Amino acid sequence: MAQTPDSVLADLKNNKYAPIYFLQGDEPYYIDLISNYIEKNALEESEKGFNQMIMYGKDVDMNAVITNARRFPMMAQRQVVIVKEAQEIQDIGREAGVKQLEAYLNQPLPTTILVFCHKYKSIDGRKPISKLLDKQAILVNTKKLYDNQVPDWVAGYVREKGFGINTKSTHMIAEFVGNNLERITNEIDKMLINYNSGSAIDEAMVEKHIGVSKEYNVFELQKSLVERNVVKANKIVNYFEANPKSNPLIPIVAALFSFYSKLLLGHHAKDKSDKNLASVLKVNPYFVKEYKMALRNYSLQKVIENVHHLRKADMYSKGIQNNSAAEGQILKELIFKLLH
């Protein structure tokens, strides 16, 4: 039965285990979270030596997996078999391997907890094996968060840890760490150990512990472009040029491309109310005011031109069109064209 990661984790924490878990999808964070919980908690430490088997897909075929799953536990109520990197099982996409998996799904051993960690891809939902997994196993499909979903996820994660966080701080983390949930949680956890539970996380804390400069970052560069503040934009670009390792060009261009692409949508929106723009642009309502200012400061024609400039800068940053200019020079030229 397809379930959400949160519902599966809630059952596990209530000591409710199922015979088969099939964890698949693009977002490995939840796959690791669930499988690690089972690995650490399903058995007592004294039981793990004989009753916990960790396998790796590239080293086994389906027969080896099923053979281990059909073993009976020794001096314990159950055994655990976890197949990491299950997408690499040698015959998982072949008829013989699929038939063995189907046979086990129809008659699982109730004393075994079998966990497949099928990362970065999913079984084709149209195939019979996918329908059988949905019926007979705990099936979890994980998807990468969209960029606009990350700030809310950050806020929820911080609250679960017993802390508060303001909106700008969640967006700073999302902007500069990206949508890799494992990296986000690692960065947040490293920050939180410095504060007492109940503290409110603000921009200064994010800057100090995650290494995001409060004054010189893409977030502030975008703001200076919104305001068409030439002096501030040039200060930030000069800082980026002096610190290229901390401020690589490709992510900066990607962030600005996303921003101007949203402005295109904004210009074409008939209803420019705050609520509708937040929905159309897929941004937090907190930032709609900034987008409305940008819509006033950049005509539709200028936004189209800027998207073109950003496409060219993206090609240059990747060495396309034989452009040999340094990253700092490409960025300086880009920001000049965006502003003028």
Q: How far apart are CA 189 and CA 191, in angstroms?
A: 5
Boundary-marking domain end, from 180, 210, 240: 210
**Interval 251-294: pLDDT, tens:** 899 989 999 999 999 999 999 999 999 899 988 787 889 999 99
158 CB-near residues (< 8 Å, 6+ apart): 164, 165, 170, 188, 192, 201
The DSSP string of 270-339 is S--SHHHHHHHHT--GGGHHHHHHHHHHS-HHHHHHHHHHHHHHHHHHTTGGG----HHHHHHHHHHHHH
Residues 278/284, Cβ–Cβ less than 8 Å: yes
CATH number of the domain enclosing 160: 1.10.8.60
Specify whether 49 is located in the same domain as 119: yes
Give me the CATH number covering residue 305: 1.20.272.10
Q: Which of 148, 105, 140 is nearest to 29 (CA)?
A: 140
Q: How far apart are CA 305 and CA 314, in angstroms?
A: 14
Final residue before a domain boundary, out of 142, 177, 198 = 142
Interacting residues of 120 by C-beta distance below 8 A, sequence separation 6+:
25, 26, 28, 87
121-154: pLDDT as tens digits:
899 989 999 999 999 999 999 999 887 788 899 9
> pTM of the predicted model, to two decimals?
0.70
φ and ψ at 217, to 5 degrees? -155, 170
pLDDT digits (tens, 9 = 90+) for 93-126: 899 999 999 999 999 999 999 999 999 989 998 9
Same domain, 43 and 136: yes
pLDDT tens, 28-77?
999 999 999 999 999 999 999 999 999 999 999 999 999 999 999 999 99
Number of domains in the chain: 3
Q: Is the pLDDT of residue 203 over 90?
A: no
Task: Give the domain CATH number at 61.
Answer: 3.40.50.300
| Residues 225, 297 contacting (CB under 8 angstroms) | no
Cβ atoms within 10 Å of 6's Cβ, excluding its own: 10
* Co-location of 187 and 238 in the same domain: no
Residue ending a domain, choose from 210, 239, 262: 210
Same domain, 269 and 331: yes
Residue 213 — very low, low, confident or very high, per pLDDT cuts 50/70/90? Answer: low
Contact 38, 80 (CB under 8 A): yes
Domain residue limits at 20 = 5-142
Consecutive H or E run containing 116: strand 112-119
Residues 159 and 137 in one domain: no
Residue 322 pLDDT greater than 60, yes or no:
no
| Cβ proximity of 35 and 11 under 8 Å | no
Q: Is the same domain home to 166 and 247?
A: no
Structure tokens, 29: 């964070």
- Dihedral sign, CA of 294, 208, 177, 158? negative
Residue in the structure block whose two tokens are 């975008």: 222
